[in-house]
Structure 1
Amino acid sequence: MELRQLYYFVKVANREHVTRAAEELHVAQSAVSRQIHLLEEELGVKLFIPKGRNLQLTHVGKLFLKRAEAIIADLERAIAEIHELTDPENGEVRFGFPHSLGTHLVPTVIAKFRKLHPGVRFHFQQGTYASLVRDVLSGEIDLAFISPLPEKDDLLCGHAVLKEKLLAVLPRHHRLAGEPVIELSQLKDEPFVLFREGYSLRPIVWEACLQAGFTPKIAFEGEETDTIRGLVAAGMGVSLLPEMALEQTGPLMPVKIELKEPVTRTIGIIHRADEPMPLVARVFHKYLLDYFHKEYGPAT
């Protein structure tokens, strides 16, 4: 059975006429009649019966029409998806990122990219460090922002794009709120508001505190930057947050203070090493590398 026969059959069934179907298909009437005859021979059934000058589907023909239309629809969807994957201006990018980058960085780069490529669509996935790595490896997403970059892995390609400072964040009434710079050790007796286990900022803050000579006392844990920032502003404790997470202004904002010994995190982009990304994702990936190099310089 050939796909051409299914197309001819569906067209004749919908038009109930070989000549009209042939005209729409831009082929000879005899070619359509022959393919229908071959299809009936292969199936061993009659698909049409004459009705005046037209053709009418038999009961079996009606059943076969439903299946044939479904097959053709699936094929056309597959072709459309392939065209999207290979069209850098009209495809979809499946893009993941941690919650801490969703406030400022991701909206900024997406908005600027879509000015250049307005037809590109995005499917976003937020997650933890582990879930983003898993989703990239499984093919659930094309690429992801991640921090820190994974250790050398033959299954992943990664590029560092930005090194970002973390700032101390304190309630406005805190005794150190007026200081321009503090040492992290000055917060050793304070309750900390931290990300939950599994979020990449938690081990960075934890290790920085250990390096400063103390183990942080956890008062509250959260899953989003806005939550951490809001709890600190409400006086529930202190924390360290990335600079970009503190771009917003408003009535319930903590005080942000530079640390004498800088604490930083490296932000990178990862994708699978063993399978080429769709063309539209490759265009977006190149845009990100160029954007960060231009705006921030090398991530060293």
Structure 2
Amino acid sequence: MHNTEIRYFMAVVSTGSLSAASQQLFVAVSAISRHIQRLEKRLGMSLFERSARGMVLNDAGQILANHVRRSMADMKLAIAELEGLKSRQQTPIRVVCTDGLALNLVPLLLARFRQLHPEVNFHLIVGSGQQVPEWVRHGEGDVEIKFSLAAEPGVDVIASFPAPVTAFMHRDHPLATRDFALSDLNAYPLVLPDQTATIRQLFDLCCRMNSVFIEPVFTSNQFSAVFGYVRNDRDAIGICSHFSVMGHMLNDELQIRCVNVEPLGQRMLQIQTEIGRPRTALLASFCQFLKQTLTEMDSQLRQRYGMPEH
């Protein structure tokens, strides 16, 4: 395929119409249309659904666009590495993660890795559990760290850690030193993520399965707000994974306890990359660092708070 055809194709993808692509590229509409038609003829299939409102990718077009984006991202990464050999320019790594992990754990991991590899710089993108794998599949991230309930298409799992649902509270809370059932949470102010979070969906499902109705006193789509509320209300209990409160944010004033309901132990924390994506030496080193460091931190936290080893 010719570079011009791909360039015009991606311009139409980004703008949504031939006329908008024409204005972006300063090329006649007829020329762009002609190159798009040549590309479709070469491939033997159409790439767009055409309408009076513009041009929208069909399934074939989406596949091609995704491959072009990944190729462009890989080329930028290769160029950055080559330039780094000449001028010690910093090499970027794009990390995507979900909100609960962005509070403390992921920034802590990135800072530790950069102490070992000062030639790297990071760009962290935070999204929902639905957005994060899509971004990686579309080549918008080099590695993702997220919670997962089931196998996902299009990603390669580098490492996986059991991430059971835990409750966190002040150390002097009545439930801080004993086992408890879901129904026991009714006696205290419960603080939860909103329904967009997989942990909230899993928690609500377990409540229904156990005929327990709990009305939270505070919900938010930001885990930092959930965490902050519990820290400021000594009676409150929050729900999270122990990974979300790893690091210095979990200090001596707080306690975490397992919620011993079987479905609540099904979540996994996973390090993922796009299937088939080539890894530079630095990216491979970063993935290995994540796997080793999370294994060590997980073991230390489980021992400190009396959580069962997986």
Distance in structure 1 (CA, Å) of the matches to 2:170 and 2:289? 38
- CA-based RMSD of the aligned residues comes to 3.5
Amino acid corresponding to residue 158 of structure 2 in structure 1: H
1:173-188 equivalences in 2 (<5 Å): 176-177=174-175, 179-188=177-186
Tell me the equivalent position of 1:161.
Answer: 160
Tell me the equivalent position of 2:141.
Answer: 141
Larger radius of gyration: 1
1:273 counterpart = 2:244: no
Amino acid corresponding to residue 286 of structure 1 in structure 2: Q
Report how far residue 227 of structure 1 moved. Answer: 0.8
**Distance change >3 Å, CA 96–CA 178, structure 1 → 2:** closer
Contact 1:229–1:254 (8 Å) recurs in 2: no
Deviation track 1:26-75 (CA, whole Å, cap 9, x = no partner) reads xxxxxxxxxxxxxxxxxxxxxxxxxxxxxxxxxxxxxxxxxxxxxxxxxx
Contact 2:220–2:226 (8 Å) recurs in 1: yes
Tell me the equivalent position of 1:107.
Answer: 107
Amino acid corresponding to residue 287 of structure 1 in structure 2: F
Contact 1:190–1:217 (8 Å) recurs in 2: no
Contact 1:96–1:124 (8 Å) recurs in 2: yes
Distance in structure 2 (CA, Å) of the matches to 1:243 and 1:209? 20
Contact 2:176–2:256 (8 Å) recurs in 1: no
Greater relative contact order (Cα < 8 A, sep 6+): 1
Report how far residue 198 of structure 1 moved. Answer: 2.3
Stretches of structure 1 that go unaligned for 5 or more consecutive residues are 1-77
Contact 1:195–1:222 (8 Å) recurs in 2: yes
Contact 2:95–2:123 (8 Å) recurs in 1: yes
**Distance change >3 Å, CA 196–CA 259, structure 1 → 2:** closer
Same amino acid, percent of matched pairs: 18
1:248 counterpart = 2:249: yes
Stretches of structure 2 that go unaligned for 5 or more consecutive residues are 1-73, 300-308
1:281-296 equivalences in 2 (<5 Å): 281-293=283-295, 296=298
Distance in structure 2 (CA, Å) of the matches to 1:156 and 1:250? 35
Report how far residue 181 of structure 1 moved. Answer: 2.6
Tell me the equivalent position of 1:116.
Answer: 116
Contact 1:172–1:233 (8 Å) recurs in 2: no
Tell me the equivalent position of 2:79.
Answer: 83
Contact 1:136–1:272 (8 Å) recurs in 2: yes
Contact 1:85–1:279 (8 Å) recurs in 2: no
Contact 2:158–2:287 (8 Å) recurs in 1: no
Report how far residue 179 of structure 1 moved. Answer: 4.2
Amino acid corresponding to residue 242 of structure 1 in structure 2: S
Distance in structure 2 (CA, Å) of the matches to 1:274 and 1:115? 29
Report how far residue 185 of structure 1 moved. Answer: 2.1
**Distance change >3 Å, CA 277–CA 216, structure 1 → 2:** farther
Contact 2:182–2:212 (8 Å) recurs in 1: no
Amino acid corresponding to residue 99 of structure 2 in structure 1: H
Q: How many residue pairs are counted as aligned between the two chains?
A: 219
Contact 1:192–1:218 (8 Å) recurs in 2: yes
**Distance change >3 Å, CA 173–CA 212, structure 1 → 2:** farther
**Distance change >3 Å, CA 280–CA 249, structure 1 → 2:** closer
Report how far residue 256 of structure 1 moved. Answer: 4.2
Report how far residue 204 of structure 1 moved. Answer: 2.9
Tell me the equivalent position of 2:207.
Answer: 209
Tell me the equivalent position of 1:7.
Answer: none
Deviation track 1:93-130 (CA, whole Å, cap 9, x = no partner) reads 00011121123321332222112211111010011101
Report how far residue 171 of structure 1 moved. Answer: 6.8
**Distance change >3 Å, CA 165–CA 278, structure 1 → 2:** same
Secondary structure class of the residue paired with 2:108: helix
Distance in structure 1 (CA, Å) of the matches to 2:169 and 2:292? 35
* Structure that is richer in helix per residue: 2
Report how far residue 135 of structure 1 moved. Answer: 0.9
